[in-house]
A and B are shown apart, each in its own frame.
Chain A
Amino acid sequence: MTEDIEIKEIKRFLQTLIPFDSLSPNALSKAATGLSIKYFSSQAKHVEIDYNNPNLYIVRTGAFEIRNSRQELIDRLGEGDYFGFQSLLTGQSVDNQVPILQDGLVYLIDQQLFSQLCNDSVDFERFFNRAHAKRLTNSPATIDDQAPVNLTIKHLVHQNVISMTSDCNVEQAALLMSEHRISSLLIIDNDELTGVLTDRDLRSRVLAKGLHGNAKIGSVMTKSPICIDINAMAFEASLLMSTHNIHHLPVLNNDKVIGMITTTDIIRSQNNQPIFLIGEIARVKDVDGLVAVSKKIPELLQSMIASDARAEEIGRVLTLVSDSLTRRLLILGEEKYGNAPMAYSWIVFGSQGRMDQTAGSDQDNGMILQREPNEDEAHYFKTLTQYVCGALDACGYIYCPGNIMAQTDKWRVDLSSWKGYFDKWVNTPSPQALLNASIFFDMRLLTGDQKLFDDLQLFVNGATKGNQIFIASMAGLAVSSTPPLGFFGKFVLERDGEENKVLDLKHRGVALINDIVRVYALHEGLSQANTQHRLNQLLGRKILSKNDVKSLKDALEFIADLRLKNQGAQYLANKPTTNYLKPKTVSRLLQHQLKEAFEVVHGAQKGLQSKFTRGMF
């Protein structure tokens, strides 16, 4: 042996990468000894790609992004990720830019070596061809197809022609419109569109002019209406409507009328789903109707996840939906069982209290009564709450396993009893009291008497603020479970029901941050229940540095976002949604960021411990 030019370290690294693991030992050695290494500094802003000499770029260290010519983010890259393969495969230059987020080493494999590797392994070649196809379909240009700006009329129009001839009278027209519950009619004579008749025409051209129901449509309709082609963009329709101050456009396909599009159709397309869902809830007349509406919640959640909404927003929207359901149920309940004999507050706890509900949240609620009820009144409230809680369960908000619900006698009591509960939890801490506290202290008034709730809130704030023993016990509870990080910053995985190695993003992520922030909020006597709002209020207070607050906010958003994205992926794969993430299923960059987020949680726990529990445990 006179020479050994193999660098084991590089070979070992390549071997861990899909698709390099599919190469023969010979080809793997060729790859490891034939590559070039570049170092990219974030001072250089982005990677200059030489399209005349295309290369496969393999990120070894550092962090990069792929952005298209419109500066939209296509992908984030970290250790073990690839770029540049598009021009390698197509021989064409790509308009993408690769901004450098963090200095790093990148391995380059040139055209010749890349071809050799493709010849060695079909899997290797297939991997990059697929990745190429995937990055194209993932590019925002195609995502835009679902967004309002690129939406075409075809997606929105109901291809259902409801028409009359112009010699019919307006009374017949009005009857047909109310029969189909539509606000406009197409007027077609001899197979040709001659006009449009709308609600507004009936009002301003018939009634206001003193005409009768026997007036002919032809004399009051809008003649030769402005039309739109089925392939036009949705925004063109809204442009036409607003410039001509009209609300209806007949839709043409090859110059033939195939339907009508209205302002409402356009608005509905603009991703305002939650508003429509909440609007629908307000119109529903019975529990069956509410159950039907609540079936649309998973779809709403998925569309919000897909549109990259912030986790905080998603939590708020889902909570607003369950709030509306609860309010509607109380109204329906009072219609059914009669008006309440006294004032009450419907209060919510836990995730609904914090406004961070996700898919499959259970219900945590209670009721503050104005005074101690007599037998009849007690019976009334028991019936009402059983109706509401039962209906919530039917809508998917399952009964609280711990019975923290207004239908439980203990949690449907007058103000002074509630005060008594809190007083006991705060002043004689026991394990159960502390566990209760972590649910009940995230409370919020959903509907009902504001004064009753404010009174209780004020009492609670007074009892906890500066109560060192109670705060210390809560702090002790908050640090009793740790984020899943071991020595040397490696994930500590646990097993889910199916024996997969996973991370629990709820109990060892989001919930830990909620616990930490709750202690600070109680210590400072804050009335907010939402963790992000609590953090906002803690900003600028002495107890927590500005940096710590910001890091916690970012860590919470990051972990919550990952949890939602993971649930979105589970849903699409037709699997039950859980809080478990298999770390290998996300990119190395995300794994790295998740570790950083867990580090923040770990640091915050330490801070909490030294501030509040020193010398106590």
Chain B
Amino acid sequence: MSLKDIFMKAARMRLASKASAPTAIDFIKDSPDLSLAFEDTELLVVDLEMTGLNAKEHEIISIGWVPIIRGDIKLAHARNLLIAPSKSVGESATIHGIHDRDLTDAMSLEEGLDILLIALKGRVMVGHHVSLDVAFLRQAAKQVYHHNLPFSVIDTLQIEAARLSRQGEHFDKQLLRLNNSADRYGLPSGDAHNALGDALTTAQLLLAQVAAIGMPSLTLKQLLKFSH
């Protein structure tokens, strides 16, 4: 364990000691082992649907995820939660297709976040343009637990950007969009703007990217580097 790892672990423990909610404490304590190889580990590919792009102003209305367990996407453990927002979804319904009427029976943000954190415990989180999702999750954690949460994340968009820029040519940012990226690997692109559908497409994209990197027993740490 490097000095930095020890320091990070200590910081996590300190965070956990301050947290009050048990799921948040468990989540913070059980950090993923980044030295493991990709095919020996468990990841959770997450996608959120929000009422807008500003974490301070807008709200999460859906959380979808699929786990990648030792290299396989396991649909049996996929989830797609609907979250009741405090305000109307408004105009954003045109983008995610979720209307206020769909959310009458939706769960609370507390409930949703708890279920997500249980699934995410000990796993690295994966997303496409994941920084936006992380910003919303941090904001939600502040609101629910009054506490900050540490996320280890892999961003398939960053992996794709690094790959395209290594190929030398200047490229259009449009090429990095989830469906465009999936197309380049000949992957089926799923139901756009559905949290679970996008999570699945992202998971398939990650598998294709790992294959394209082509390093035997690629570790999570190496993969994290590829995504920054």
Contact = CB atoms under 8 A, between A and B. Distances in A.
Given A5-B80, A8-B197, A37 B187 contact: no
Most buried by B among A7, A35, A108: A7
Interface string A94-129: 000000000111001000000000000000000000
Contact of B208 (A9, A10, A39): A39
Interface in B77-106: 78-82, 102, 105-106
B74 interface: yes
B52 interface: no
A505 to B, nearest CB: 27
Nearest to B74: A36
A5 B78 contact: yes
A585 interface: no
Contact of B82 (A2, A33, A34, A108): A2
A62 B208 CA distance: 12
B197 A37 contact: no
Given A13-B188, A39-B211, A103-B185, A3 B79 contact: yes
B76 A34 contact: yes
B196 A9 contact: no
Interface in A33-47: 33-41, 43
A120 B107 CA distance: 34
A216 interface: no
Interface string A1-39: 111110111100100000000000000000011111111
A61 B191 contact: no
B191 A105 contact: no
A103 B75 contact: no
Interface in A70-102: none
Interface in B175-228: 185-191, 196-197, 200, 203-204, 207-208, 210-212, 214
Interface residues of A, number: 28
A386 to B, nearest CB: 60
A103 B186 CA distance: 9
A41 B79 contact: no
A41 B82 contact: no
B137 interface: no
B74 to A, nearest CB: 5
Contacts of B107: 2
A41 B214 contact: yes
A43 B188 contact: no
A4 B76 CA distance: 13
B106 A7 contact: no
Contacts of B211: 39-41, 43, 103
Nearest to B81: A3
B73 interface: yes
Given A36-B74, A37-B73, A2 B208 contact: no
A5 B196 contact: yes
B188 A60 contact: yes
Contact of A7 (B105, B187, B197, B210): B197
Contacts of B204: 37, 39, 105
B33 interface: no
A47 B211 CA distance: 14
A38 B71 contact: yes
B40 interface: no
A33 B80 CA distance: 12
A7 B189 CA distance: 11
Contacts of A43: 211, 214
Interface in A556-583: none
Most buried by B among A5, A60, A62: A5
A38 B102 CA distance: 33
Contacts of B79: 3, 5
Nearest to A33: B75
Given A1-B102, A7-B196, A61-B188, A33 B72 contact: no
Contact of B75 (A3, A36, A41): A36
A1 B105 contact: yes
A46 to B, nearest CB: 14
Contacts of A108: 72
Contacts of B102: 1
Given A2-B107, A105-B204, A61 B75 contact: no
Contacts of A60: 188
B210 to A, nearest CB: 8
Nearest to A108: B72
B84 to A, nearest CB: 9
Nearest to A1: B105
Nearest to B200: A7
B82 A105 contact: no
A39 B213 CA distance: 13
Nearest to B199: A7
Contacts of B196: 4-5, 7
Nearest to B104: A1
Nearest to A37: B73
B72 A7 contact: no
A194 to B, nearest CB: 72
A38 B206 CA distance: 11
Contact of A39 (B81, B105, B191, B207): B207
B80 A3 contact: yes
Contacts of A39: 71, 204, 207-208, 210-211
A4 B212 CA distance: 32
Contacts of B187: 61, 105
Interface in A56-71: 60-62
Nearest to B206: A39
A62 B81 CA distance: 32
Contacts of A13: 188
Contacts of B82: 1-4
Contacts of B78: 5, 7, 33
Contact of B76 (A1, A33, A104): A33
**What are the 3 closest A-B residue pairs judged by CB atoms, nearest first?**
A41-B211, A39-B207, A37-B73
Given A10-B75, A13-B188, A61-B187, 20 more contacts: A1-B102, A2-B81, A2-B106, A3-B79, A3-B82, A7-B78, A7-B191, A7-B196, A7-B197, A8-B190, A9-B189, A9-B190, A9-B191, A33-B75, A35-B75, A37-B200, A39-B71, A39-B204, A60-B188, A105-B207
22 contacts: A1-B106, A3-B80, A7-B190, A7-B200, A9-B197, A10-B75, A32-B75, A34-B76, A35-B76, A36-B75, A36-B76, A37-B72, A38-B71, A39-B208, A39-B211, A40-B211, A43-B214, A103-B185, A103-B186, A103-B211, A105-B204, A108-B72
Interface of B: 71-76, 78-82, 102, 105-107, 185-191, 196-197, 200, 203-204, 207-208, 210-212, 214
